[in-house]
Amino acid sequence: MTAAGTGGTFDVIYALDLLGTAAFAASGALVGIRKRMDLLGVVVLGLVTATGGGVVRDLLMNDTPPFCFKNETYLYLALAVTIIVFLIPRKFERQRKTMLLLDALGLGTFLVIGTSKALAFKLGFMGSVIMGVMTATAGGMIRDMLGNEIPLILQREIYASACIAGGIVLYLLHRAGVAAAVTLPVAALVVIAIRIAAILRGWQLPKGPVI
């Protein structure tokens, strides 16, 4: 998923990738606990939320087995976080602001990883943006489907939309020939900034007329 060790930018991305994986695993585990699932269900929701987006992306790009089966660090990390959340969920619930911040970091990182992988696979504009958005959001959508809810991100909040903005920025900078060491952090910061501003200011997308 990331070529760790090939340079500073990539080491930072790998660290943020693991941080985002942990944050997503915690969010999945909390949904499972709230839905009164048992330990197994909570573990499944944690793992799926943390790795589902990247797995779907790798399936669509035929890079198999998906990233977390090549480097099981992602799976062990998500499993460990899930079990900790299962034992002391209230401590995580109380840290709502920290959780949202870590989630935003994960969102930006996953978007950047997905879109830059799509660019490396020579996908076009729509494909590159979609792969990034999917990497960042498909895990959460599967989490909500398993929990028998309409996925939250389809209904409200600027979440996937922040990813779309970051994906467009990354695609355009890449096309303009800007180096990855610049495009990746810039695009991630676009996602994170929009996401945090949206939370602080309560931004919403419009809905269609009632029909």
Binding site residues, a copy of itself, CB under 8 A: 30, 32-42, 44-45, 47, 55, 59-62, 64-66, 69, 72, 75-76, 79, 86-87, 89-90, 93, 121, 123-127, 130, 141, 145-151, 153-156, 160-161, 164, 204-211
Helix (H) or strand (E) holding 199: helix 180-201
- Please identify, using beta-carbon distances, which residue of 53 and 66 lies nearer to a copy of itself: 66
Distance in angstroms (rounded) separating the CA atoms of residues 101 and 27: 12
- Please identify, using beta-carbon distances, which residue of 147 and 185 lies nearer to a copy of itself: 147
- Please identify, using beta-carbon distances, which residue of 52 and 106 lies nearer to a copy of itself: 52
Question: Which residue do the tokens 């619930």 mark?
Answer: 93
The closest of 110, 116, 111 to 179, measured between CA atoms, is: 116
- Answer for the pair 161, 205: CB distance below 8 angstroms, yes or no: yes
Distance in angstroms (rounded) separating the CA atoms of residues 43 and 37: 10
- Answer for the pair 48, 82: CB distance below 8 angstroms, yes or no: no
- Please identify, using beta-carbon distances, which residue of 130 and 187 lies nearer to a copy of itself: 130
Least separation in angstroms between CB 33 and a copy of itself: 4
Distance in angstroms (rounded) separating the CA atoms of residues 12 and 22: 15
- Cα angle, residue 134 at apex, residues 210 and 21 outer, rounded to 5°: 120
Least separation in angstroms between CB 66 and a copy of itself: 6
Least separation in angstroms between CB 1 and a copy of itself: 15
Least separation in angstroms between CB 163 and a copy of itself: 10
- Please identify, using beta-carbon distances, which residue of 43 and 188 lies nearer to a copy of itself: 43
Distance in angstroms (rounded) separating the CA atoms of residues 152 and 137: 10
Distance in angstroms (rounded) separating the CA atoms of residues 62 and 47: 21
Least separation in angstroms between CB 181 and a copy of itself: 27
- Please identify, using beta-carbon distances, which residue of 13 and 55 lies nearer to a copy of itself: 55
Least separation in angstroms between CB 65 and a copy of itself: 6
